[in-house]
Each structure stands twice: as structure tokens, then as C-alpha cells.
């Protein structure tokens, strides 16, 4: 849910940059990898790092949007 809100927020605040797009695609790829591991062997040693990497990527996307919005208002 936070991913969709981040995408809409980036569009609404005109913060769709190359970095934001790359982070969004990285998040999608990591979530697909997470689902693949979960539906396959479901080994937690493989799945947990991918999950936290996707979480960190989403956080980086939100920080990018927030900083871009803050700097644009200066």
C-alpha cells in the first residue's frame, strides 16, 4: 500500500526523477523475488534479506520524494 501512495505522491508533487523511477522498479523486482522465494523453497535465510532490502528500497523512495519536495519549496 505504501508503494502505491509513494508513486501517487511522487506524481502529484512532480518528484518523478530518474532516481525515484529506479527505486520504484528496484522495489518491484525485490518484491517479485520475495514472492518467488516464498512460493518456492520458502527458505527464510533467503527470503528475509530480500524482504528487508525491499523495505529499505521503499524507505529510500519515500526519503527521495520528501527531500525533493522540501528542496523544491525553497
- Mean pLDDT confidence for 7-14: 97
Quick: pLDDT tens for 19-60.
Answer: 999 999 999 999 999 999 999 999 999 999 999 999 999 999
pLDDT of residue 74: 84
Look at 13-17, 31-35, 36-40, 70-74 and tell me which has the smallest mean pLDDT: 70-74
pLDDT of residue 57: 98
- Name every residue whose Cβ is closer than 8 Å to that of residue 65 and which is 6 or more positions away in sequence: 6, 9, 10, 13, 15, 20
What are the DSSP calls for 44-74, one per residue? HHHHHHHHHHHHHHHHHHHHHHHHHHHHHT-
Q: Give how far the C-alpha of residue 16 lies from the chain's centroid of Cα atoms, to the nearest Å.
A: 13
First-last CA distance in the chain: 30
- Mean pLDDT confidence for 9-17: 96
Amino acid at each position: 500500500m505504501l508503494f502505491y501512495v509513494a508513486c501517487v505522491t511522487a506524481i502529484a508533487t512532480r518528484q518523478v526523477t530518474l532516481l525515484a523511477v529506479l527505486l520504484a522498479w528496484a522495489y518491484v523486482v525485490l518484491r517479485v523475488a520475495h514472492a518467488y522465494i516464498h512460493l518456492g523453497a520458502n527458505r527464510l535465510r533467503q527470503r528475509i534479506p530480500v524482504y528487508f532490502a525491499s523495505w529499505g528500497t521503499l524507505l529510500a523512495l519515500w526519503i527521495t520524494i520528501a527531500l525533493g519536495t522540501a528542496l523544491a519549496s525553497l
